């Protein structure tokens, strides 16, 4: 069994299939990929033809205080048009409205900072700054736009981080995100410092995340990357789900087939290459809850580096836990979807959550603060770059055909 009690991050945080299976389904996906690439190139050509006199124009841009001050070169105007309308070129709010205080994480295309408003230093935000050149070079334009669109259109939920605004400069994309004052860090950081949590704390944390996932599913969004690092805690112990890099619009009852996510949290349905629906998020939540209590992954996959290496055998019920928790894990982590807990309705009614009133929960009527102890630290202090904190880390799926397949 894979043991993570040393509290090190798994070797593979984010993953997408890039193998070459010649089966009928894979061949169909390859054709879809080729179509997508042609459509993307066609769009670029149309954008260039709109203003041929600017086709090869470049402009030097002086870096703002948000970055090291240096000269950068980027093409216009298609460099800006590509990211419209999700990232407006003119916005009342922009990077000059904030003071950067510390680094929260580094992702595929840039950095996420903790920041405060110039006229209100007490209010904290997270600002994600992404490099356009990196996004385009990795063919992730549509995915970045999709992430911004999903987050901006989602109604407010108490356990999902809000996106307040997005905008772009000639070289970068910016997203202004909710960040809780006095944050105690992400769940991985808290677990690493605190150790295994009590069932009482896991019950509240699990219920809050279940409420957030149900909200996403009811709004036709599949999340696909539930894990400790993607959950931030505020000073009262309430959760905030962050990072929508792998999220996708998916209506109720529909399915998708991209192999993506974090390997150690990946369900058998995703790893097998079969189509799947919203229910795979419940498997990942089960893995997260199992780790919080036991300190180990439920299946021996801590060293896996490819989805073909994942093993879903030799599962043992956690020792020393309550019968209710043991039964919940047995059902959430059942390999066969036919025997697995696959909906919020079933989870809501499970004996482990019997003491939770979900209406009260969504009013933040419960708190895991007392159970979490006194190991909190504020990750948004002006202490330079906090390299130990990797929450808000971007996760994207790209390379080869899988990125394009997921656009259909």
**DSSP string spanning 53-115?**
GGTT-EEEEE--TTS---EEEEE-SHHHHTTTTTS-SS-SS-GGGEEEEEEEEE-SSEEEEEE
C-alpha to C-alpha distances, 383 to 101, 113, 122, 338, nearest whole angstrom: 8, 12, 16, 50
Complete edge-to-edge strand list for the sheet that includes strand 231-233: 185-186, 231-233, 239-241
* pLDDT on residue 290: 97
CATH 1.10.510.10 residue ranges of the chain are: 184-377
Number of Cβ within 10 Å of residue 168's Cβ equals 22
In 3D space, the residue among 322, 248, 254, 295 whose CA is nearest the CA of residue 8 turns out to be 295
CA distance 265 to 262: 6
CA distance 68 to 114: 16
Burial class (CB in 10 A: 0-12, 13-18, 19+), 158: middle
Which residues contribute to the annotated binding site for ATP?
A: 128
∠187-193-197 over CA atoms, to 5°? 60
- Which fold would CATH assign to domain 65-183? Phosphorylase Kinase; domain 1 (3.30.200)
Active site residue 281: no
Catalytic residue of the set 131, 214, 225, 234: 225
Main-chain phi, psi angles of 299, to 5 degrees: -125, 155
According to CATH, what is the number of the domain 184-377? 1.10.510.10
Number of Cβ within 10 Å of residue 150's Cβ equals 20
pLDDT in tens, the chain (408 residues): 445 544 555 544 566 554 444 555 555 555 555 655 666 666 656 555 554 544 443 333 333 343 333 444 444 477 788 999 999 998 888 999 999 999 988 877 889 999 999 988 888 999 999 999 999 999 999 989 999 999 999 999 999 999 999 999 999 999 999 998 778 788 999 899 889 999 999 999 999 999 999 999 999 999 999 999 999 999 889 999 999 999 999 999 999 999 999 999 999 999 999 999 999 999 999 999 999 999 999 999 988 889 999 999 988 889 899 999 999 999 999 999 999 999 999 999 999 999 999 999 999 999 998 878 654 444 454 333 323 334 444 454 433 323 223 332
Q: Token pair of 190, please?
A: 């808290």
Number of Cβ within 10 Å of residue 218's Cβ equals 11
CA distance 23 to 10: 31
362 and 211 in contact (C-beta within 8 Å)? yes
Q: What is the DSSP letter of 222?
A: E
Main-chain phi, psi angles of 172, to 5 degrees: -135, 155
Q: What is the DSSP letter of 379?
A: T
Main-chain phi, psi angles of 178, to 5 degrees: -70, 135
CATH 3.30.200.20 residue ranges of the chain are: 65-183
* pLDDT on residue 40: 60
211 and 159 in contact (C-beta within 8 Å)? yes
Which residues contribute to the annotated binding site?
A: 128
């Amino acid at each position: 069994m894979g043991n993570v009690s040393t509290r090190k991050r798994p070797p593979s945080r984010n993953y997408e299939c890039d193998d070459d299976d010649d089966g009928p389904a894979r061949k169909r996906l390859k054709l879809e990929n080729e179509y997508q690439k042609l459509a993307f190139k066609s769009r670029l050509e149309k954008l260039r033809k709109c203003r041929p006199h600017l086709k090869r124009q470049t402009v030097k841009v002086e870096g703002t205080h948000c970055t090291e001050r240096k000269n950068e070169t980027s093409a216009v105007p298609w460099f800006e048009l590509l990211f419209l309308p999700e990232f407006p070129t003119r916005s009342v709010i922009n990077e000059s409205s904030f003071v950067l205080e510390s680094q929260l994480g580094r992702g595929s295309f840039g950095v996420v900072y903790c920041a405060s408003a110039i006229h209100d230093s007490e209010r904290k935000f997270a600002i994600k700054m992404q490099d356009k050149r990196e996004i385009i070079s990795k063919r992730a334009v549509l995915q970045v736009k999709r992430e911004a669109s999903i987050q901006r259109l989602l109604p407010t939920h108490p356990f999902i981080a809000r996106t307040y605004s997005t905008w772009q400069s000639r070289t970068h994309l910016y997203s202004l995100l909710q960040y809780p004052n006095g944050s105690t860090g992400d769940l991985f950081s808290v677990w690493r410092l605190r150790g295994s949590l009590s069932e009482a704390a896991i019950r509240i944390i699990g219920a809050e995340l279940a409420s957030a996932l149900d909200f996403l599913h009811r709004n036709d969004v599949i999340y696909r990357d539930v894990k400790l690092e993607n959950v931030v805690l505020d000073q009262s112990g309430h959760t905030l789900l962050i990072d929508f890099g792998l999220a996708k619009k998916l209506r109720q009852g529909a399915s998708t087939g991209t192999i993506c996510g974090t390997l150690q949290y990946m369900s058998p349905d995703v790893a097998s290459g079969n189509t799947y629906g919203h229910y795979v998020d419940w498997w990942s939540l089960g893995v997260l809850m199992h780790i919080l209590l036991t300190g180990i992954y439920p299946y021996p996959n801590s060293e896996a580096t490819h989805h073909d290496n994942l093993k879903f055998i030799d599962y043992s019920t956690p020792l020393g836990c309550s019968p209710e928790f043991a039964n919940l894990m047995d059902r959430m982590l059942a390999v066969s979807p036919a025997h697995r807990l696959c909906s919020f309705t079933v989870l809501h009614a499970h004996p482990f959550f019997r003491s939770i009133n979900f209406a009260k929960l969504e009013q933040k009527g419960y708190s895991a603060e007392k159970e979490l102890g006194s190991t909190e630290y504020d990750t948004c202090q002006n202490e330079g770059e906090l390299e130990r904190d990797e929450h808000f880390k971007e996760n994207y799926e790209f390379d080869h055909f899988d990125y394009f397949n997921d656009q259909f």
